[in-house]
Amino acid sequence: MLHITSHSNPTIKAIRALRDKKHRRDTGLFMAEGLRICAEAVEAGQVPRQLVYAEDARAHPLIEKLAGIVEASGGTVIETSRDILHKLTEKDNPQAVVGVFRQTATTLEALDRSTAAIWVVVESLKDPGNLGTMLRTCDATGAGGVILLDASCDPFSVEAVRASMGALFTRTVVQTDGPSFLRWLRTGPGMLAGAALEGARDYRSVSYTAPTFVFMGNEQSGLPPEYAEACDELVKLPMLGKADSLNVAVACAVLLYEVLDQIRR
């Protein structure tokens, strides 16, 4: 167990650098904040390579247990100050625990679509908070995970991990491009239901069959036409307001709960 008190400690600096996408890519690591999320990760079989905790929280039984698991697996346990945790998390009230994990992205080839009745596909999603929220909704609805197409945001960013509330550790994430996904999709069973405004049917009038792939466009522009054309169904939510728009994670959740309801019936 290391006890670190210096902000300029190279281990602390390396963890802090994981806030940066380039550094995450170079190391294949990422950071997750919070005791609950780190405990859920361990329960899902992902033990942190490094576990940092606040010295004043040392006696917490769950931290003691986590620290034991990390050391037993060959990882490093680091005790430090709240001040240094604040530097790591950039939060005013930092969590007592930060874990450093290996990124576990799945390839399309390795993805077993039969493990879930519902999957989410997103095209060039920009906001990591939206991505994390979608992963959290996947967890709640039993959806297998999120397939990220094209220029989507990084699922291992601090914001995405935070918004996923631990679901990043229990759901599958695939990063690929649109043409590769569409080729893969048609090598097996699957209904591609794209969220669209034009040429779309009311989402409740469509019959969904497992596995359903719910396909969301990005925050600004929705599904590009060539992707909309590749869908088996285009579906839309009623939009009674002036804005004709919903947050993409919200729209995705309403669709997921409709698909779930039909599949469970």
Q: Residues interacting with a copy of itself, by CB under 8 A?
A: 40, 43-44, 129, 133, 136-142, 163, 165-167, 170, 204, 237-247, 249-250, 253-254, 257, 260-261, 264
Q: What are the C-alpha distances in Å from 6 to residues 9, 20, 84?
A: 5, 21, 8
Minimum CB–partner distance for residue 219 and a copy of itself (Å): 10
Contact 186, 159 (CB under 8 A): no
Minimum CB–partner distance for residue 225 and a copy of itself (Å): 23
Minimum CB–partner distance for residue 235 and a copy of itself (Å): 13
Q: Which is nearer to a copy of itself, 12 or 42 (CB)?
A: 42
Q: Which is nearer to a copy of itself, 26 or 43 (CB)?
A: 43
For 2, list phi and psi in degrees, rounded to 5: -95, 140
| CA-based nearest residue to 215, from 115, 107, 123 | 123
Minimum CB–partner distance for residue 116 and a copy of itself (Å): 10
Q: Which is nearer to a copy of itself, 67 or 252 (CB)?
A: 252
Minimum CB–partner distance for residue 90 and a copy of itself (Å): 15
| CA-based nearest residue to 105, from 146, 49, 152 | 146
Q: Provide the CA 185 distance to its chain's centre, in angstroms.
A: 21
Q: Provide the CA 199 distance to its chain's centre, in angstroms.
A: 30
Minimum CB–partner distance for residue 251 and a copy of itself (Å): 8
201 sits in the region (left: phi over 0; alpha: psi -120 to 50; else beta) called: beta
Q: What are the C-alpha distances in Å from 125 to residues 67, 183, 221?
A: 35, 20, 10
Q: Which is nearer to a copy of itself, 22 or 242 (CB)?
A: 242
Q: Which is nearer to a copy of itself, 110 or 240 (CB)?
A: 240
Q: Provide the CA 262 distance to its chain's centre, in angstroms.
A: 25
Q: Which is nearer to a copy of itself, 77 or 196 (CB)?
A: 196
Pairing of strands 76-80, 2-3: parallel
